[in-house]
Structure 1
Amino acid sequence: MRKIIYILSLFFCLPLGSIANEGMWLPSQIKNLMLYEQMKEMGLELSPEDIYSVNKSSLKDAIVSFGGFCTGEIISNQGLLLTNHHCAYDAAQNLSTLENDYLTDGFWARSMDEELPAEDLYVRFLVRMEDVSSRFQEVLSNDMSAEQRQAIIAELSNQIQKEAEEETGYDASVKTFFAGNEFYLFLYETYNDVRLVGIPPESIGKFGGDTDNWMWPRHTGDFSLFRVYAAPDGSPAEYAEDNVPLEPRHHLPISLDGVKKGDFSMVFGFPGSTDRFLTSYGIQMQLDVNNPTRVDIRDRRLKILKADMDSDPQIRISYASKYAQVSNYWKYFIGQSQGLKNLKVIEKKQELEQQFKDWVAQKPEERAIYDTVLQNMDEAYQQIRNYQTSYLYLAEGVYGTEILPFAYRFSALEKVLQQDAKDEQSQQKLEQVVSSMKSSAEEFYKDYNAPTDQKVFAALLSMYASNAPADQLPEVLNKVERKYKGDFNRWAADVFQKSIFTDQQKLMAFLEEPKLKTLSNDPAYAAVQSFMSNYYEKIALHLRSAYGKLENNNRLFVHGLRQMNPDKEYYPDANSTLRLTYGSVLPYEPKDGVLYQYYTTLEGVMEKKNPDDPEFQVPEKLVSLYESKDYGPYAISDNTLPLCFISNNDITGGNSGSPVINGKGQLIGTAFDGNWEAMSGDIAFEDELQRCISVDIRYTLFIIDKFAGASHLIDEMTIVQNTKAEQEVEAPVEDSQMNE
């Protein structure tokens, strides 16, 4: 029988108005008096030590980097971990077969013995962080070239990391902040035995699909459960049957109180990348070159993948994760361009740049350092523009195929074969490389379909030939024009018929007795070598020079901005290190006459339900639970079931799966998306419009308990109810859309 803890607490008056809560703050910045006082005023009841501490258990000890691409949180004293459904998608796809399709049907382990090892997945806890900027400042100077700085930074970072790992036994990483002006050392404890515990079917975890992606209102149960295992002594260990569930230093209690407008919300996680210091010149290149080129290439690729996935259930399973990864940022680039234009971000950046110029003009002593910074950055971007299209067609086109980047991995084998040495050491090296290639091939062919890749190959490389500057094209594309009369379908058919890389048996036979001539003459291998040689000979040097100039001047620009505004507390751009953001649960007005409320309910799922549309199908059991209103303790006072909510927390990619925590340090939701109207948020935070979309923890518990019947998982969680008062009920977002 589960226990719900009732805690009587003082009634708290919370500010309901929108406060600009921009900032992905380092844990060490929380002690800043201004930040902490504002958080307290908004509803935080914890001390800085409760949030981040090296010496005692704190919230940060329940937060993990999940696989290096998402965030997760520990929610029981037995290592149970909560993250997003889309963060688990690749692991579930790898474990799925036609007989056990966990993507379509979901999966729930009825005991720990049934939990499924997620191969190559890891979680990483932050142990502590340390400012090591002074060590870099001793050896760096402004008159160094970008290449010199990079070399010194890399060498010193490796030295500091090695020292820290030898001293502590933890994994160490040195990260650059504020465009190269500051440096921090991070120590992590990494656990490699992570097992899938539960994931809802796609009809819940991915409800709305690409149509609803990046949109509000949302009705997506975007969550999954894993468990972290350790050696019997509690230390990190590779997968082993005798491993035991991790006993964490801290796990998050779960609140059943729900959320009201104005409630304090805190997101703790590992945001991947932002570019908040990007200049107007960089944004213009995003709009003119980067985003439209990426969208065009991905759009073509997605249509090919979708057609083949719809034609064959096995291809659907094999390509589900690949499709989702391509699609997610295809839509993101579209939305970002719209947001940058609609919110006039270039104009706002130009105002800041003019302020910077005016400040420099008033500071004669600073002119030698800053006077030409913006001009130099403008010139660098102009140089980058000349070669960016070719680079993007390499990154999105050549690397948008599967066969070419896979074939390029065999460059290491070619180097060994070229030596043609017969001594024992050379033979051992050859055996090592061949063994590595065999392992790589096993992974590659597991989810590979050559006919699909052949279509992608022909389409994307045809686009490359048509859109990249003629004088920057590789010889292999000129050869297609001569030999195949520009018919890329004929070329693709020839390559895929003759290449050893299109068939696992042919490749494995080659690896049993590898020959240099066979490899170098292979049409796929020869093609990718042509693409890469062309890049390094015609493009890379120019880009490297331009980006070096950009990097040096951007560092000075950021340094100058902080000097220009000495009283302003700046936060660094996201770089996959642990950050905290704080805000409030709030509605928003996306346009005139439209109000989006701050939460959605199960009613919205039933309104969107469409059995003929795969994105909006609803499981019969969920329909039955809805019709009977069998919501258990997870309903709000009018017997409706909350599903998602929004807050003005500052998040980005990498925050997927991050816990949304109330002022008492209790879990109230799981962040999984941002909203369409503020897709420019990675470049410029929009305080009136930007929203973090989260799954309400009560819907997560309802699906686990009532839908999946996995109440044993609920039993191991710490469920907290702070008061017995009913939640304030407002018109949910479905009703408010009548204004639109």
Structure 2
Amino acid sequence: MKKTLLLLSLIAAPALAGEGKWTPQQVLELDPAWLRAQGLQIPPKKLWDPQRGTGLLAGAVNVGGCTGAFISASGLVITNHHCAFGIIQEHSSPKRDLITDGYLASKREDELPGKGARVQVPRSFKDVTKDVLAAVPAGADDLARYKAIELKQKELVAECEKRPATRCQVATFDGGLNYTLVDAVELADVRLVYAPPRSVGEYGGEEDNWMWPRHTGDFAIIRAYTAPDGTSAPYSDKNVPYKAEFFFPLATEGVKPNDFVMVLGYPGRTYRALLADEMASRQSQVYPRIRDVYGEAIRILEAEGEKDAAGKIAVASQLKSLHNVYKNAGGQLEGLKRGHIVEKQHTAENAVTEWAKKGGAKWADALKAREELLALQGETTKLFEREFLLGSATRLARGPALAATVARLAAEHAKPDLERRPEFMDRELPRLKDRLEREQKNLFLAADKRLLLAFVKRAQALGPNERIAAVDAHFGKTFSEKDVAAKIDAMYAGTKVLTLDERMKMAGETVAQLTARKDPLLAFGLDLAKELDALDDIEDRRDGATLRLRPEWRKAVLAHAGKPVAPDANSTLRVTFAKVQGYSPRDGAIYTPQTTLSGMLAKHTGEEPFDVPEKVSKVAEAKRFGTWMDPRLKDVPVDFLADADTTGGNSGSPTVNGKGQLVGVNFDRVWENVANDFGYNPDVARNVNVDVRYILWMLDQVEDADALLRELGVRKGPPMVRETR
């Protein structure tokens, strides 16, 4: 049945514009004639060879929540500036502010290692649906179902990772209709090669974020290294650049309107398979609460950061992340309303329901599953406020997050490895310890204490059936700013959680040893960890129910569709096919698909967020375009739009032409397209890309990055003599 349904969703594809985040396996089942008509000039089998389990798509790599792409055989990876921000911040200080000034390694010895940075290169995909579903005992309740599936996933991953330097996951598709074992090589030595100044990489700041027209150079170049024998190894000065089998040569001619492009990457999560009522809950509860809670956190971090130069650097990474989530939530709300997405989903859902009713007993399980999913959503809605706030306790204030992490680590390590929460298994320890160490760079106590104060205030305002016991025990049940602030000051003054050496010791201790420390912040973390564990149990039971119900409903949806249906994004490798084109955001307005250096200079005010660095403006104003001018635009293109089907996780995705050459780097979507996560709208579905010619112009005309340009195959001949400018 599963194979029949999959084939139903993959029969010869009609013209779907850019809709669909296709898996490597699905690409081979799409109609080759359709792909050629769209503009693909290489055989689909060059994209992915199922016999080898690899292909050109493997040139797109996972760089930890973002995507990157090999652009040379010697391990060079291009990604977004904001995706490499952690490495940039790690090596920045008030005296050497790489965040502001940017960085160029003039030779390989100068490339800067990133603590905990990883590059994962995909190797194979295997359908393990039968294995996973067979692991569920007959008559299992929802919690037992979830635990059985999770255990089987862990076992499959453990077997897969017996090979060295291997990173595996079992990805869930269509809510549990299919499971795939994803196998990747993990490279542990990653170094910064080039980052533009922040006012290039973030030009326009939050004002332009998710907007068009855009003039942002959101790109950076890193390099992956291996041991001399080609195996993955941690940082060492003896390591050598990774030899990439698949990489994307740079298309120096760039793109023009209506050109075919592909965006490859690891899109995080979309929600198109949700029921309308589930979407409505995100609209009425999740996104408004994100705007509320994260908005307050942003104001606190900005205010405290302005008081201290080192503090401003410390909070920069967290602030950048919060801003992105905050503005995204606003875009989701506007898009859901503007596109009437919930209403459209109700209509589509009702159409499937009526069709299924006509099928009689064949679809009875699907109809029953839908009703149970609706009931489950109703129960979840009632508990939302407490659960959202409790979850935010470890996302905002660093102190409680670190304390709860070491507490949960101790509790989980008292269990056998396969019985632990996935994030605390032995395979995760290197990452976890890297994070515990790296967080020292992000600590700014003045801001952190204010974030905790805000959290406690919200927790103490919860109703009698929504209490967070850890807060009540350590701060009381009613809010007094003076009293709570004094308790927080005493807690931070008396803790060693925020001392790096002591925190790393704690990471190896038992719960009894941690308790015996009598550390006030750690004591709060230990109590908070118990409630987080209990919340995880509740969510596991819900997930077990969803894994039982969603597949039944999805069978009906897929059968009713009768056309290609790509599964929701789940952080696995996908490709979307698109065209370079503009759009109309509203009545009377038409946006062209390209922006230029002239447009960037026109925005320049000399103040953030529109402050073009002098070394950039000087060259741009002199119209020293080099060979990177677009003859049609008579200017250097900066960014361009396409109608690719992207979402979070596609940050840093390579945008390539029909020959498999890099023409740009994806970094954003337009404001009108943020709610694309719930449904693709071809009228406004546009992703934003840095044009490869702007990247090359920066490296060539601004930075004189001679060695790097030679390695990229862009500059030939003897080493260039730098001109005095």
TM range (shorter): 0.7 to 0.9
Provide Cα deviations, 1:691-729, integer angstroms capped at 9, x if missing partner.
1100000000111111111122111113499xxxxxxxx
Give the match's secondary structure for 1:255. coil
> Which residue of structure 2 aligns with residue 179 of structure 1?
175
Gaps of 5+ in 2: 1-13, 415-428, 717-725
Q: Is the 8 A contact 2:165 2:232 kept in 1?
A: no
- State the alpha-carbon separation in 1 of the partners of residues 494 and 595 from structure 2: 54
- Partner SS for 1:669: strand
Give the SS at the match of 1:614. coil
SS of residue matched to 1:86: coil
Tell whether 2:339 aligns with 1:324.
no
The answer as to whether partners of 1:281 and 1:381 remain within 8 angstroms in 2 is yes
Which residue matches 2:75?
A: 79
Q: Does 1:26 align with 2:23?
A: yes
Please point out which of 670, 673, 677 is paired with 2:672: 677
Map 1:432-443 to 2 at 5 A: 442-443=437-438
> 2:175 & 2:189 partners in 1: Cα distance?
35
Task: Provide the residue aligned with 2:207 in structure 1.
Answer: 211
- Counterpart of 2:521 in structure 1 is 524
Q: 1:165 and 1:536, CA in 2 relative to 1: closer, same or farther beyond 3 A?
A: closer
8 Å Cα contact 2:515-2:523 kept in structure 1: no
In the alignment, which of 456, 463, 470 is matched to residue 464 of structure 2? 470
Equivalent residue, structure 2, for 1:287: 283
One-letter amino acid of the structure 1 residue matched with residue 150 of structure 2:
A
Tell me which of 599, 608, 611 is aligned to 1:614: 608
Residues 547, 75 of structure 1: alpha-carbon distance in 2 compared, 3 angstrom cutoff: closer
1:689 match: 684
2:625 to 626, 631, 642: 631
Q: Is it true that 1:308 corresponds to 2:293 in the alignment?
A: no
Q: 1:484 to 1:253 in 2, by over 3 A?
A: closer
For the structure 1 residues 587 and 553, does the alpha-carbon distance in structure 2 shift closer, same or farther, using more than 3 Å as the test? same
Q: What is the distance in 2 between the residues matched to 1:239 and 1:76?
A: 20
Q: Which one-letter code corresponds to 1:100 in the other structure?
A: R
Q: How do 1:260-299 residues align onto structure 2 when only pairs under 5 Å count?
A: 260-299=256-295
Conserved in 1, the CA contact under 8 Å of 2:639 and 2:690? yes
Check conservation: 1:20, 1:687, Cα contact below 8 A.
yes
Q: Deviations over 1:500-528 (max 9, x none)?
A: 43556887999999995975743323333
The alpha-carbon deviation at position 534 of structure 1 amounts to 4.6
Residue 493 of structure 1, CA deviation? 3.0
TM-score by length of 2: 0.88
Between the aligned residues of both structures, percent identity stands at: 28
Which 5+ residue runs of structure 1 have no aligned equivalent? Answer: 1-16, 419-433, 722-740
> What are the residue-to-residue correspondences of 1:46-445 with 2, within 5 Å?
46-53=42-49, 54-55=51-52, 58-66=55-63, 68-139=64-135, 144-166=140-162, 170-397=166-393, 399-411=395-407, 442-445=437-440
Distance in 2, matches of 1:121 and 1:437, equals 12
Query: Which TM-score applies when normalising by structure 1?
Result: 0.86
2:650 aligned residue: 655
More displaced, 122-131 or 380-389?
A: 122-131
Per the alignment, in what secondary structure is the counterpart of residue 654 of structure 1?
Answer: coil
Q: 1:552 aligned to 536, 548, 566, which one?
A: 548
Q: SS at the partner of 2:605?
A: coil
Mark the CA change 1:529 to 1:651 in structure 2 (over 3 Å): closer, same or farther: same
Cα distance in 2 for residues equivalent to 1:209 and 1:222: 11
Q: How big is the shift at 1:188?
A: 1.2
Query: 1:656 deviation in Å?
Result: 0.9
**Secondary structure of the corresponding residue to residue 87 of structure 1:** coil
- Once residues 377 and 553 of structure 1 are traced to their aligned partners in structure 2, the CA distance between those partners, rounded to angstroms, is 7
Corresponding residue for 2:445? 450
Question: What's 2:3 paired with?
Answer: none
**Aligned residue identity for 1:457:** L
Aligned CA distance change for structure 1 residues 344 and 101 (closer, same or farther; 3 Å): same
Alpha-carbon distance in 2 for matches of 1:252, 1:435: 31
Query: 1:719 and 1:18, CA in 2 relative to 1: closer, same or farther beyond 3 A?
Result: farther
1 CA distance for matches of 2:144 and 2:318?
Answer: 38
Change in CA separation of 1:51 and 1:29 when aligned onto 2, cut-off 3 Å: same
- C-alpha change, 1:181 and 1:511, in structure 2 (3 Å) is closer
Q: Report the secondary structure of 1:82's partner residue.
A: strand
Over aligned residues, Cα RMSD in angstroms? 3.2
Secondary structure of the 1:699 match is helix
Report the Cα offset of residue 300 of structure 1. 0.7
- Comparing 142-151 with 601-610, greater Cα deviation is found at 142-151
- SS of 2:67's partner is strand
Equivalent residues of 2:87, 2:113 under 8 A apart: no
Cα pair distance change 1:264/1:156, threshold 3 Å? same
For the residue of structure 1 that corresponds to 2:171, the secondary structure is strand
User: Cα offset for 1:402?
Assistant: 1.1
DSSP 3-state at the match of 1:247: coil
1:135 & 1:182 partners in 2: Cα distance?
11
Q: 1:472 to 1:519 in 2, by over 3 A?
A: farther
1:323 Cα offset (Å) = 0.8
Deviation of 1:322 after TM superposition, in Å, equals 1.1
Aligned CA distance change for structure 1 residues 489 and 368 (closer, same or farther; 3 Å): same
User: Whole-Å Cα distance in 2 between the matches of residues 351 and 720 of structure 1?
Assistant: 56
Is 1:587 aligned to residue 585 of structure 2?
no
Aligned partners of 1:176 and 1:182 also within 8 Å: yes
Asked if structure 2 preserves the Cα contact closer than 8 Å seen for 1:136 and 1:183, the reply is yes
- What secondary structure sits across from 1:130 in the alignment? strand
> Shift of the alpha carbon at 1:616?
1.2
The structural deviation recorded for 1:494 is 3.6
Aligned residues: 685
Distance 1:47 1:628, change over 3 A: same
Q: Displacement, 1:664?
A: 1.2
Aligned counterpart in structure 2 of residue 599 of structure 1, from 566, 589, 594: 594
Cα gap change, 1:507/1:659 in structure 2, threshold over 3 Å: closer, same or farther? closer
Give the alignment partner of residue 708 of structure 1, picking from 703, 708, 713: 703
Does 627-636 or 362-371 show the bigger shift?
Answer: 362-371
Shift of 1:372: 2.2
- The answer to whether the 8 A contact 2:165-2:187 is kept is no
Tell me the secondary structure at the aligned position of residue 152 of structure 2. helix
Larger radius of gyration: 1
Question: 2:297 & 2:611 partners in 1: Cα distance?
Answer: 25
Q: How does 1:491-510 map to 2 (within 5 A)?
A: 491-501=487-497
Higher mean alpha-carbon deviation, 238-247 vs 82-91, is at 238-247
Q: Which residue of 1 aligns with 2:5?
A: none
Q: Tell me the SS of whatever aligns to 1:353.
A: helix
Residue 508 to residue 162, structure 1, CA distance change in 2 (3 Å): closer
Within 2, Cα distance between the matches of 1:414 and 1:172?
A: 25
CA 1:473–1:595 in 2, change beyond 3 Å: closer, same or farther? same
Partners of 1:484 and 1:491 within 8 A in 2: no
Change (3 A) 1:167 1:394: closer
Residue deviations 1:476-511 (CA, integer Å, cap 9, x gap):
544645687464334333433344435568879999
